[in-house]
Amino acid sequence: MKNLEALSLKVANNQLYILDQQLLPDEEKWLLVESVDHMVQIIKDLKVRGAPLIGIAASLSLALFTNENTTWNEFKALEKKLRESRPTAVNLMNALDRMLEIAERSSMDYQKIVEQAENLFAEDVELCLQMAKAGADLIEDGDNILTHCNTGGLATVGLGTALGVIVQAHQQGKKIHVYVDETRPLLQGGRLTTWELEQHNIPYTLICDNMSGKLMAEGKVQKVFVGADRIAMNGDFANKIGTYNLAVICSHHKVPFYTVAPQTTVDTECASGAGIPVEMRKPEEVRGIYGSFGEIRWAPKNAKVFNPAFDVTPCGLLTGIVLDGKVLSQGELKSGVLKRILNKG
Ligand code: MRU
């Protein structure tokens, strides 16, 4: 396989390395992926995370742990383990579908399998650029933008989705400021988005998730950009838990609310948000917190917990979706534009 390099994933001498995102921002430690089972654990532990990145990391590991002697049945068994590692981000299933398709069509031609994984990497870099360009046009000089979770180079192998748009606007010379939702329970905003914004020298302010309403009531947020983990054909979408709350507050305060995603995040088999599976995670993540700083619990040891990793925002709350190089309005989404673009009738 070619050598490949992204912010939190690299391939060197046919070995796959992952930047352990659980240790950021304080420690930058690269993990050598030792097997498909190891990759599955890395995905489950959110050491690698973000919808597009999960799909690409899984596909690269599948290609790298396949060889000339791997049979179709062995390949399918490895693929299945990866597919089941996380349930909501459809980029994982979409990428693995494409790996399976090439393996079957080429009768397990090892070189073709490797090329397909490399193509998925190159495609994501290109789609990130398209999203960044199309989305940055929506941002004006002086805007205060609010974002949720982490949607940058740590969630993709390119510039990012929502954060890529923000970075692009900054690189165009627009004077912007970003409010970063810390994103409980796992703090992807507080730990990762802040880290990326500092690398790009973009001014930001970190807030707790329950502070966005006050900011909007005071007229301090001009636009909200978030990512997506699965977009249904009617424009409903799943994203990090808390996105729906944000969409409702934006609707009340008439703050434009966009999601930014590549076409690899669309589930062409899913008619509406009601069909999106939502991952439920461990109660420990809500009873306290853990990371490179250690582990702390503040709730009673057996406190009953509700911990969905994602929520679903109905299309009716969206101003629009930045999909690849296009901005699709709520009206277009409701009139079935995704079906037309993706040739699904
Ligand atoms: O649980 P995570 O950290 O994988 O969740 C990530 C998100 O929800 C992102 O907003 C989403 O993947 C889009 S980022 C490209």
Is residue 189 in contact with ligand 1, taking CB distance under 6 Å? Answer: no
Ligand 1 mean position, distance from CA 228 (Å): 7
- Domains of the chain are 4-128 (1.20.120.420), 140-341 (3.40.50.10470)
Is residue 161 in contact with ligand 1, taking CB distance under 6 Å? Answer: yes
- State the alpha helices, DSSP H only, in 298-336: 330-334
Just list the catalytic residues: 229
Is the overall model pTM greater than 0.85, yes or no?
yes
Q: What residues contact residue 319 under an 8 Å CB cut-off, 6+ apart?
A: 256, 257, 258, 329, 330
pLDDT tens track, the chain, 345 positions: 999 999 999 999 999 999 999 999 999 999 999 999 999 999 999 999 999 999 999 999 999 999 999 999 999 999 999 999 999 999 999 999 999 999 999 999 999 999 999 999 999 999 999 999 999 999 999 999 999 999 999 999 999 999 999 999 999 999 999 999 999 999 999 999 999 999 999 999 999 999 999 999 999 999 999 999 999 999 999 999 999 999 999 999 999 999 999 999 999 999 999 999 999 999 999 999 987 778 899 999 999 999 999 999 999 999 999 999 999 999 999 999 999 998 754
How far is residue 184's CA from residue 88's CA, in Å, rounded to a whole number?
18
Is residue 53 in contact with ligand 1, taking CB distance under 6 Å? Answer: no
- Backbone φ and ψ for 239, nearest 5 degrees, come out as -150, 175
